[in-house]
């Protein structure tokens, strides 16, 4: 992870690459026990990690106690209080 520090009791559950309807290019997605972190590598010669978005898991909408996260193929749509975001993951077997 780039510029993000984790809390003492926070655990990384998943790290991977994805694309999004909201951001251009390849993204690095990190799912922790508290949030989803969206980062992008920028710079041609000097590589830097830019933090694009942080989505708190508590901000994800729920209906009848079911989180409003829908998977269709390799795409995942997440409905939050402030926005909807779709992430497309590459499939590797």
Residue ranges of the chain with per-residue pLDDT less than 70: 1-3, 91-93
Q: Which of 34, 31, 30 is nearest to 9 (CA)?
A: 34
pLDDT value of residue 80:
94
Around Cβ 89, how many Cβ atoms within 10 Å? Answer: 16
pLDDT value of residue 42:
85
pLDDT value of residue 92:
61
pLDDT value of residue 1:
58
pLDDT value of residue 2:
62
How is 20-46 classified by DSSP, letter by letter?
A: ESSS-S-EEEEEESSEEEEEEEE-SSS
Q: For the chain, how long is the longest CA-to-CA vector? A: 49
pLDDT value of residue 89:
92
């Amino acid at each position: 992870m780039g510029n993000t520090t984790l809390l003492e009791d926070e655990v990384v559950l998943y790290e991977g690459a994805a694309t999004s309807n909201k951001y251009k290019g390849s993204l690095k997605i990190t799912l922790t026990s508290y949030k989803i972190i969206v980062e992008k590598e920028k710079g041609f010669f000097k590589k830097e990690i830019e933090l694009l978005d942080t989505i708190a898991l508590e901000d994800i909408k729920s209906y009848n106690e079911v989180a409003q996260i829908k998977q269709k193929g390799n795409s995942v749509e997440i409905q939050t209080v402030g926005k909807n975001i779709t992430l497309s993951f590459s499939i590797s077997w």
